[in-house]
Every structure is written in structure tokens, then in C-alpha cells.
Amino acid sequence: MFPHKIGSAWEVPAPAKLNLYLDVLGSRTDGFHELETLLVPVRIYDQLLWSASPGAGPGTSLRIRSLLQRDSPETAPINAGANNLVCRAAERLAQAAGIEPQGTFDLYKRIPVQAGLGGGSSDAAAALVLANAAWGIGYSRGRLIELAAGLGSDVPFFLGGGAAVCRGRGEQVQRVAGLPHLHFVVVKPPASLSTATVFGQWAENAAPRGGLAALVASLHGGTLVQAGRRMVNRLETAAAALSPWIERILGELAKQSLCGRLMTGSGSACFGLARSAWHARRVARLLSGKDLGSVFATSSC
């Protein structure tokens, strides 16, 4: 994530992510769950801008413009208050650096919320990077990652670039280099799911574990059908018990000639692994007419 300067303002694109593998290893005493997950950033972007607000005094304000595709009233509203992760990230950075936060953030939302696509976490990472540059703080990426972990489990992932295996709550990030360019079709149903609720519904089961190394090897080797078979999300059963959309969308994806299909994160979005950009666009076009919600053709970045 690299901010650009435009006159006296700063801007950074905030990508979404897909989990190609998500194993829940157990619950922890701190209320979180121990994870092993493969995250890939994808080209569905929010955009975050920061500009000075002359004469406004200390403190930041946040304006949100929703560019989301048409969604149903079931979709969770975006919180624009001080509790928004963008404001919390800026506040945390200012506190750590011992300065007064200032200026206006403009957030252009394209990533569906409560979808398992990491939009809120990516926005928080973008706010850290942007405020670090705009306020001339000059913290290293490592220092920003330390602050990021306290904001959300996925925030450290977004501060780096490219795919990564994440462990712990998700905050222990190990980059995976050399993956091929991957193409996806993503479907976000009208219903959203809360991460905490889905984790709350998760139950230990006796399914065989492992397979992450084999998945990464298949991706490195470009054997996408094999990779598709190795994609696993251990939160799928919990999410499917909360929303009928998960099975419905996975069922629709199964009817297409995709290499694999999976729910991302804690849902409610699901995705298919396509053979090419053209294939992803063709399947997206087919699914767009089926009243499944928002459909995107996208690729890894």
C-alpha cells in the first residue's frame, strides 16, 4: 500500500482480499480463534483520501461515499462515526506519535461490508499509511504493523503487498511470493454476516486438517483445478447455518465450469477460481442475471 500525493492531499487505494484457505485450529482464552489462512489481495478497491481542513482545529472528520452496487436493506450500514476503523486508526497513530490528529478523510466504498472481503481492515491499513505520510510521522512499515494488530486481525496483512499465510488471530503475516496471477468471480449476496457471530457459531469438528502447503504448491505450479479442490474454509458450515445464501451461491458457482469455489473469510461473499480473466468475466455475466446480489470479476494484485 503506497500513498500518492495530489497537491496538498494524499490518496491510497485499499484492496479487498479473498481467503483461499481458512482453518480454525481452536478457540483461545482471549475470545479470538487460532487461524491458519491464505489471503490474496484482489482488485476490488475502496479509495481513501486525506486533505487538510484549514481553520478546523485539531481532530479528524470522515466523509463516506458509497459506490456499492445496489444492495438490499439487509446490508449492514457503514458506520461513519468515530468508531469507524479509519478514525480509530488515525487516532491510534496520532496517539503513538504524540501529535494532534487533523484533516478530513474521504472514503469511497466499493468493497461490500460484512462480506469477508476485508474492506474495513483494508481501510484501516490505508488510514495508517495515509496519516503516516500526511502528518510527516515517518514510521517504518514494521512500526505501523505493530499498531495495526490492535485495530483488527486482518489489518497487518493489508500493510504489505501480495498474498500471505496468516496465523495466530490472523496478525502473524508470512508473505507468499511467486503465486501466478489468479482470476476470480466474487458474489456478495444481499445478506451480510457479522464476523463475531460466525466465529461464535463455529464448532470443533473431526474433519481432517492440513493441506495448506499442498494448496500453495498447486498454485505455484499453476495446476488450478487441483488448487481449487484444495481450497477449504472451516467457517463455511457455521456461516451456512446462519444464512441460506451461502449454500445457494456455492450451488450456483458449482454449476459453472470453475476450478474451485469457496466462501471468503466469515462470509457472506463466496467466490469461484476461474481459468482466465475472460473466463471470470463470462461466469460473472452469467451469474449477474440470477438475482444473487453483487457480482464481480476480479483478479489478484
Nearer to ligand C5P, 187 or 193 (CB): 193
> Rounded to the nearest whole angstrom, what is the least distance from the CB of residue 154 to ligand C5P in the complex?
6
Q: How far apart are CA 198 and CA 268, in angstroms?
A: 10
> Rounded to the nearest whole angstrom, what is the least distance from the CB of residue 194 to ligand C5P in the complex?
8
One residue of 12, 35, 182, 224 binding ligand C5P per CB under 6 A: 35
Interacting positions 113-132 with ligand C5P (CB under 6 A): none
One residue of 3, 17, 18, 33 binding ligand C5P per CB under 6 A: 33
Nearer to ligand C5P, 108 or 199 (CB): 199
> Rounded to the nearest whole angstrom, what is the least distance from the CB of residue 217 to ligand C5P in the complex?
25
Nearer to ligand C5P, 45 or 158 (CB): 158
Q: How far apart are CA 46 and CA 12, in angstroms?
A: 9
> Rounded to the nearest whole angstrom, what is the least distance from the CB of residue 9 to ligand C5P in the complex?
29
Interacting positions 134-193 with ligand C5P (CB under 6 A): 152-154, 169-170
89-to-57, 120, 122 alpha-carbon distances in Å: 19, 11, 11
Q: Does 79 bind ligand C5P (CB under 6 A)?
A: no
Nearer to ligand C5P, 17 or 33 (CB): 33
- Is 17 catalytic? The answer is yes
Identify whether the C-beta of residue 62 lies closer than 8 Å to the C-beta of residue 84.
yes
Nearer to ligand C5P, 83 or 140 (CB): 83
Interacting positions 187-246 with ligand C5P (CB under 6 A): 195-196, 199
Q: How far apart are CA 22 and CA 18, in angstroms?
A: 10
- Is 71 catalytic? The answer is no
One of 17, 23, 46, 188 is an active-site residue; which one?
A: 17
One of 23, 71, 123, 154 is an active-site residue; which one?
A: 154
Query: 183-188 and 102-109 as β-strands: parallel, antiparallel, unpaired?
Result: unpaired
> Rounded to the nearest whole angstrom, what is the least distance from the CB of residue 238 to ligand C5P in the complex?
11
The contact mask relative to ligand C5P for 4-23 (x = CB under 6 A, - = no) is --------------------
Query: 59-66 and 102-109 as β-strands: parallel, antiparallel, unpaired?
Result: parallel
Cell of 36: 491458519
Nearer to ligand C5P, 46 or 252 (CB): 46
> Rounded to the nearest whole angstrom, what is the least distance from the CB of residue 42 to ligand C5P in the complex?
18
Identify whether the C-beta of residue 86 lies closer than 8 Å to the C-beta of residue 124.
yes
One residue of 9, 11, 32, 43 binding ligand C5P per CB under 6 A: 32
List active site positions. 17, 154
Binding site for ligand C5P (CB under 6 A): 31-33, 35, 152-154, 169-170, 195-196, 199
